[in-house]
Structure 1
Amino acid sequence: MKLRLGSKGENIAGYLFLLPFLIIYSMFMLYPIVRGFVTSFHKVSISMESTFIGLSNYTQMIRDKYFWEALWNTFYFVLISTPTLIIVGLTLALIVNANLKGTTFLRSVYFLPFVLSISVISSIWVFILQPYTGLLNTFLHKMGVVSEIFWLDEPTLAWISILIATVWWTVGFNMVLFLAGLQEIPEDLYEAARIDGAGTWRQLVSITLPSLKNVMLLTVVLQTISSFKLFGQTYLMTKGGPGTSTRTLVQYIYEKGFIERDMGTASAMSYVLFVVTILFAVIQFKFFTNKD
């Protein structure tokens, strides 16, 4: 004998199965988000007693020059990292998608750094970039470069170092996304293009890139969001230095909240970062939609 619940009964059963997940999700995701928003309107003492102060935390944030510097540093990293990671990721995907020997091995090599933790990645690159005994400076000395290069002690070089470490760490994920998109393109399109006399560059421009527009949008949005959340590389490699030249907004939020114990201002900054990130994502969606 079969038990028939009907559509309403099935809905209730479905919600009951989802209930454990919804409880855990609400406790560890939704509640902290709401609690953080409420905290942004309060002054929180060391004893965690809070006093409602309205928009004072936001006013203090706007007057804080270090907030604007950290926000600009975050913007700067987004601007230099997103195009780099998209171009390198697409290039690697094109390489491993070719019918050549060893591409399976290359896929593993390119993706392997992504599974490592940020502490491991940062330790590796600090070792490579340190002066006098670092791997890179030692190699440059053997190539004839006499002067010592302090990669992490000069603002421009520090950003380049952080960018290189980030690309080496995360580009494998973008490569996988682009590779999945490339394998969805019908081979018949390329065969027809070759019959019509189209070369490699024309096939890339007229077939490959237009076919990857949805994957490109997804990758750009995900990469932009990830770049806005930059913290581990700058904190572990440069401590936000030299000075505060590489201190990002997430690092400044961490320092405000957990070092200065100013949870209210830290929460306000967090929601500003959230709004900025959402705006960038919406703009990117609009841009790709208008181009289509």
Structure 2
Amino acid sequence: MKQVRSASGFAFVAPFLLLYAFLQLYPLVRGIIISLHRVDLFGGGHFVGLANYGEILGDPVFGQAVVNTLLVTLMIVPPLTVLALLLALALNNATRSSAIYRGLFFSSSVLSVTIVTLIWRFVLAPDSGLVGEALKATGHEPLPFLSDAHLVLPAIALTTIWWSIGLPMILFLAGLQQIPADMYEAAALDRSSRWTTLRKITLPAIRRTTLLVVMLQTASQLQLFGQSQLLTAGGPGGASRTMVFFIYETAFVRWQLGYAAAGAEILFVMILMVTLIQYVTINRDREEAR
């Protein structure tokens, strides 16, 4: 009887497992195999072992892409987390205006990266863009955000924060609404200030949500590609070339598929490390809560 039940259970999950293996596991294994070969888009090639990894780790262009990716991630994740939390705190009530503002702030998240970059091209254009016109009105010279090596990453970070703020805000709202109301009532009876209530009740209660937001956004921004490609094409001088953009260029412009696969596997390891840190931190938090 147990064997029949287990067989019927496996029959229910088999379609998902097969689809998952085809869409996730096979590309992963295939990518690792390709990274060990010198191969182009037309196939063929030969086995070179870890030569692609040794070469790419010494490649200054790849090194610059790694630094750019880490820098833009640091520019995005902390401000995005803080802004999303502040918005969630401001909109954590049942009024009609709060519901409208939630929809407005979340609406940018449903736009495609093409639409987002098109909007911000107009906003950041030095001659006739919104920011340029505002600087002219205050007596300042417009800044070349998309053509200055020192300004291009902050410009991409600003664009991404505007685009991505909706989902973290919703996650924080969900976390805030899980906090029991009697905790705030007890704090009010003790005449606790808003800052004390925030520091002693709210922030500890949403610690797991904060960790989730930080880790999800870190993993997402390590894969940043569309903004770099469509806003600046990786320029000027490679100042905005990210790891995914490097992989794209290597595979589909230079046709070095094995070399690009090696870069993709390095990126995969970085994202895996972020995920493992999240897993360990959340489990440790659960054990401490017990």
Band of TM-score, shorter chain: over 0.9
Native 8 Å contact 2:172 2:206 kept in 1: yes
Pick from 35, 38, 47 the counterpart of residue 43 of structure 1: 38
Structure-2 separation of matches of 1:22 and 1:283: 26
Q: Which runs of 5+ in 2 are unaligned?
A: none
Over 3 Å counting, the alpha-carbon distance change for 1:10 and 1:85 in structure 2 is same
Native 8 Å contact 1:217 1:285 kept in 2: no
1:167 aligns with 2:161: yes
Pick from 115, 129, 133 the counterpart of residue 128 of structure 2: 133
Q: Which AA in structure 1 matches 2:114?
A: S
Once the two structures are TM-superposed, the CA of residue 273 in structure 1 deviates from its matched residue by: 1.0
Structure-2 separation of matches of 1:241 and 1:46: 25
Instruction: Report the secondary structure of 2:143's partner residue.
Output: coil
If the length of structure 1 is used for normalisation, what is the TM-score?
A: 0.93
1:14 aligns with 2:27: no
Pick from 189, 204, 219 the counterpart of residue 183 of structure 2: 189
Once the two structures are TM-superposed, the CA of residue 163 in structure 1 deviates from its matched residue by: 1.0
In the alignment, which residue of structure 1 is the partner of 2:197? 203
Instruction: Report the secondary structure of 1:83's partner residue.
Output: helix
Instruction: Report the secondary structure of 1:148's partner residue.
Output: coil
Structure-1 separation of matches of 2:23 and 2:178: 37
In the alignment, which residue of structure 1 is the partner of 2:274? 280
Once the two structures are TM-superposed, the CA of residue 261 in structure 1 deviates from its matched residue by: 0.7
Structure-2 separation of matches of 1:254 and 1:155: 21
If the length of structure 2 is used for normalisation, what is the TM-score?
A: 0.93
Q: Which AA in structure 2 matches 1:74?
A: T
Q: Which runs of 5+ in 1 are unaligned?
A: 1-5
In the alignment, which residue of structure 2 is the partner of 1:29? 24
Q: Which AA in structure 1 matches 2:181?
A: E
Large movers: runs of 4+ above 6 Å = 288-291
In the alignment, which residue of structure 1 is the partner of 2:218? 224
Native 8 Å contact 1:111 1:173 kept in 2: yes
Structure-2 separation of matches of 1:190 and 1:16: 49
Structure-2 separation of matches of 1:77 and 1:124: 20
1:176 aligns with 2:176: no
In the alignment, which residue of structure 2 is the partner of 1:3? none
Pick from 239, 247, 271 the counterpart of residue 241 of structure 2: 247
